[in-house]
Each structure stands twice: as C-alpha cells, then as structure tokens.
Amino acid sequence: MTFQIDERLPWTEHYVRYGFAVVRGLVDRGFCDEALAEVRRVVDDDRPVTRWVKRDGDGLNDPSASPGQWHYAFFQDPGRTGMTPQNPVLETLYDQPRLRAAIDEMFGDARAWDRVRNYYIFLNPFAPHGEAKLEPAGHIDFRVPTPILYRGFTFQIALLDTEPFSGNTTIFPGTHVPVQRMLMDEADRDLTQQAETDVDTVEPYEFVAGAGDVLFMHHLVYHSGNVSHSPNCRPRLGLHAEAFRARWLTEVDPGDPDLSPWQRSLALNGPFIAQRDEATPQRSMRERYVTQIEKELGIAVEERWKRYSDWPEPPS
C-alpha cells in the first residue's frame, strides 16, 4: 500500500500538513512536449522514450551512456558539456503562468521569489536488470548543519506520463515535522538518512504522473529516488526545480495570522527564532563552488548565481 493524497485538502494545505503536494495539470502539455524535444536534443537520443535504457554500470550523468540517468543542474554545469548555464527552452518552465502563480501563492507574496532559475533534468530510464520496487526509506538533501527554516522549496514538473515503478520520486509524508523538531532540539544532528533516525518510516507516496503534473516538496521531507522498471518501460522524465526567496527566513510564529503556506509548513513545531545564522554555511558552499568553477573553466559566473537569498532588494 502506498500513501493516498487527501483530495479534500487544498494543495497548499496538503503541503503544510504532509510536506508535499501534487497539482495535476499545472503546466500545459504544450510546454511538456517542447521540453521533451529539447531534452531529446540535449541527451542526443531520438528513440521512442520506452527504448531509452540505463545499462548496468552507467553512472549518473555519464556522458558515455545513451541516454543514461541524469540529474543535471544547469547551474552546476556551465560550459562543461558545451551547454550554456541556462537552456533557453527549458528555463521557460518559470514562465508557465499557473506555475508562477503557485510559487507566489506558496510564498504569499509575488515579490518573494528571487527570480533565479535553477533546475535539473531528472531522467530515469528503464533499467533492464532492475526490480519493480520502491525504496523503503528516504533522505533529505542536507548534512550538518541542516537549515531549520530555510529559504524555499523544490518542485518537479513531469514531462511524460509515468506508471508505477517508472523510477518516480517517492515522498515519506509528514516526516518534515519530526525532522524539524529534532533539529530544533539538536541543531547539529545528522538526519540525512531516514533509516538512521528515529523517524518512523511511513508508507511512501509515489509520484506517478501525467505530463504537466507538478510535485512540490518541503526541504525537510524524506524522499527517495527509485529504480525505473515499470511494466511498459516508461521512463521518469521531469524538470526538478528550485523556488527560493530573496531572503532567508529567520523566525516563524504560528500565531501570526499572515503566514504564507510555506511559512506555515515551517511553523508546525511552534514559534522558533533561529539561534544562529543558518544561511552562511550554505552560502559558503556555494561560494566555494563558484570560485572553483571560475578557476577551472576560466569564466566569470554571473552575479545572480553568487547570491544566496541575500539580495539587497528583491530582484524584479
């Protein structure tokens, strides 16, 4: 049994309570078709998608694989593969009107989003020797120190219809609440792997998608990737993207009647004021990365990629 979405809840309320939400058909299929054609060009493979395979031994983002499994961030790959840091077709994901409205609704303010368009191609093609099963536990994408309040959320736009066991992302619903509570009690605890914590494993939710469906994810909800081995060999192909605020959140009070859904999802463990600067350690990782890229590639990385929710004014 996998977790079923509570359809009675508005999507933002579902996000608050369970640390994720799915909005069906939020992005037009026209965009998905265009983006699929662009992904085909980028991965250089125009076979029917059900003939795409991940061979044994293919690594993640392995240039010799065809097309192989991808988790490519456009920010992290400036120039390395001959691509520009932004892809002019794929980055229009951020111009999809209902998606933009959803970002603003989540932040409760049309000026909150920092306008930085970072996204990843998430391609998970059929693995012939894989097994049709879901991972029993998840992870979060942080080690120590894990941000307790943070600066935004991620979302995944499905570009293809998938089926169960297509290698879909799974979410462990509601785990964002005990994870945040444990961090409030012990800020330096490493909660990266769910299996190593006292957060009970709950039934996972598998994001079996139609093209244009969008999955919104809390930064503290346990989640997992899965092997792609579905009955009709349908791959998972999505754009996994970030929506970050121009400013880091430093305190939250559930008694405040004006909290946005995103803030409410961070207020379920009561009022909290960050005792230390949560942004700086994360920001310095970004700075080190940018410096390394600039040195290695002899290029100047654009100013906006050096910003880390520290914009003097929200960008327009």
Ligand X SMILES: O=C(O)CCC(=O)C(=O)O
For ligand X, the binding residues (CB under 6 A) are 122, 124, 141, 169, 223-225, 240
The residue whose two tokens read 């570009």 is: 159
Residue number, 18 or 122, with CB nearest to ligand X: 122
Residue number, 55 or 111, with CB nearest to ligand X: 55
Nearest-approach distance from CB 56 to ligand X, in angstroms = 18
Nearest-approach distance from CB 300 to ligand X, in angstroms = 29
Do the Cβ atoms of 220 and 179 come closer than 8 Å?
yes
The Cα–Cα gap between 289 and 284 comes to: 8
Nearest-approach distance from CB 26 to ligand X, in angstroms = 18
Residue number, 125 or 225, with CB nearest to ligand X: 225
Nearest-approach distance from CB 182 to ligand X, in angstroms = 19
Nearest-approach distance from CB 250 to ligand X, in angstroms = 25
What crossing angle do the helices spanning 11-18 and 97-107 adopt, rounded to 10°? 50
Contacts of 221 (CB under 8 A, 6+ apart): 18, 19, 20, 138, 140, 171, 172, 173, 174, 175, 176, 179
Of all residues in the shown chain, the one whose CB is closest to ligand X is 225
The Cα–Cα gap between 94 and 157 comes to: 11
Residue number, 241 or 290, with CB nearest to ligand X: 241
CA distances from 93 to 27, 100, 155, 242 (A): 8, 9, 11, 11
Residue number, 192 or 301, with CB nearest to ligand X: 192
